[in-house]
Structure 1
Amino acid sequence: MRHRGFTLVEIAIVLVIIGLLLGGVLKGQALIDSAKVKSIIQQATALQAAVNAYQDRFHALPGDDILATTHVPGATGNGNGDGQITEYQLAPQHLALAGLITGSYNGTTDFMTSAQGGAVYIYNDVVGGRGGNGIRIDNLPDTFAQEIDAKLDDGKPDSGSVRATGPYTNNGTIITRLAIFF
């Protein structure tokens, strides 16, 4: 009885197939990540448009609107009218009640989330050395944050209208805050 093993050609074919499968899985993950980044950018763009529409309609910023309970019936609170959206918990409620975004927000504890799962705020904050009103996205992988920054601004975490709390290292570091200022 003769024992027969695998030939080098058979082993090579198996290795090529494994390599192709691995390459497909990695490419698939890159496509999923790219789709998440596009979704986050679309969300930020839509939120900025909603803020502009609210401001055009009511001559106030959502969250900061001193007449919000009059402008959007059902609002649980008014802002202080200082031009700074520090009332970030009220902002999504005001936008939703005005019909400018979807969702239901209670004005105190509910918040929006990104495609990556981190919290999203319309907020007056200081991020990366710049302060002002903007959209803040929390807890993004640095590769996501860098891609968003590159598509919307200059790709640098500490300059322009998109700012991050830390450098982009491309090693899986989590950027705790990314702000898109308007």
Structure 2
Amino acid sequence: MKRQQSGFTLVEIAIVLVIIGLLLGGILKGQELIENSRVTNAVNDINGLKAAYNAYLDRYRRIPGDDNSFTTPLRGSEWTGVTAGGGNGVLNITAGQTFSGAGESTAFFQQLRAAGFISGDKTETGAAVVPQNSWGGKTGVTNAAVQGYVAATKLICLSNVPGKAAIAIDNRLDDGLSNSGSVRSTQGANVTNPGAAAGNYSEDNSYTVCAQL
């Protein structure tokens, strides 16, 4: 006797392929949404730090990080233990100190936190005081002549930014070019200090992206 063999019909196979396509499309769309969210968070971090810096200037008439005029009776107990700056009217943070908390970097973040302009623990010092960004890198500050700037320039820098995200940040805030305008980038993964401006952006590379403060 012949044994009948059953299998999938063309309609059933088509339905399975459609379902697989929808699942793959959903995964890819979800990844895109996550990446767009990270870019938005990075842009918000840059704009928020700019706003905090200018608000501090407006309130205290001092540069955050350089300020050394506060005492406990003058500003309250929340300023106890906060690091004072040099008070010379210059934010002293070299390119090599951007993400290390050295120079006046620790004072910069501690003072903004004590004033209530940014969130975070004002007792942190060194590299721990520098906030983490959306890609596991750091969000630091420097005042250096880097990335094609001819003079020392106050910059907010994000390290370990993937190429696609670096392009998106530059396009949102500036001209989309890595070596011109108010947003410039240095090629390098992990915690790469700002240095020479990169050539054309590549999605295959990672960057330290800096925006003028």
Q: Equivalent residues in 2 for 1:1-182 (5 A)? A: 1-68=3-70, 73-74=79-80, 75-86=82-93, 87-105=104-122, 106-109=124-127, 110-130=129-149, 131-165=152-186, 166=198, 167-171=200-204, 173-175=205-207, 177-182=208-213
> How many Å apart are 1:107 and its aligned residue?
3.6
Distance 1:138 1:26 in 2: 25
Q: Which amino acid aligns with 1:178?
A: V
CA shift for structure 1 position 83? 2.1
- The runs of at least 4 consecutive aligned structure 1 residues that moved more than 3 Å come to 68-72
Residues 91, 68 of structure 1: CA spacing in aligned structure 2 closer, same or farther, 3 A cutoff?
Answer: farther
Closer, same or farther: CA 118–161 of 1 in aligned 2, 3 Å: same
Structure-2-length-normalised TM-score: 0.77
Cα displacement (A) at 1:82: 4.3
Question: Using the alignment, how far apart are the partners of 1:16 and 1:61 within structure 2?
Answer: 59
How far does residue 53 in structure 1 lie from its aligned partner after superposition?
0.9
**DSSP 3-state at the match of 1:112:** coil
CA distance in 1, matches of 2:22, 2:61: 57
- Which structure's residues are more often strand, by fraction? 1
Q: Distance in 2 between matches of 1:162 and 1:8?
A: 55
Change (3 A) 1:12 1:143: same
Task: Note the C-alpha offset of 1:112.
Answer: 0.7
Deviations 1:70-115 (A, max 9, x none): 7763212323524234122221101001111111132433211112
Q: Conserved in 2, the CA contact under 8 Å of 1:69 and 1:77?
A: no
List alignment gaps of at least 5 residues for structure 2: 94-103, 187-197
Q: Is the contact between residue 139 and residue 174 of structure 1 (CA under 8 Å) also seen in structure 2? A: yes
C-alpha distance 84-16 of structure 1, shift in aligned 2 (>3 A): same
Give, as a single letter, the amino acid of the residue that structure 2 aligns with 1:77: A
Structure 1 regions of 5+ residues with no counterpart? Answer: none
Give the aligned CA root-mean-square deviation in angstroms.
Answer: 2.0
Cα offset for 1:161? 0.3
Q: Is the 8 A contact 1:66 1:81 kept in 2?
A: no
Identity %: 40
Give the distance between the partners of 2:70 and 2:159, measured in 1 at CA: 27
What whole-Å deviation, never above 9, does each CA across 1:138-159 have from its counterpart, x for those lacking one? 1111111111110011111111
8 Å contact kept, 1:127–1:164: no
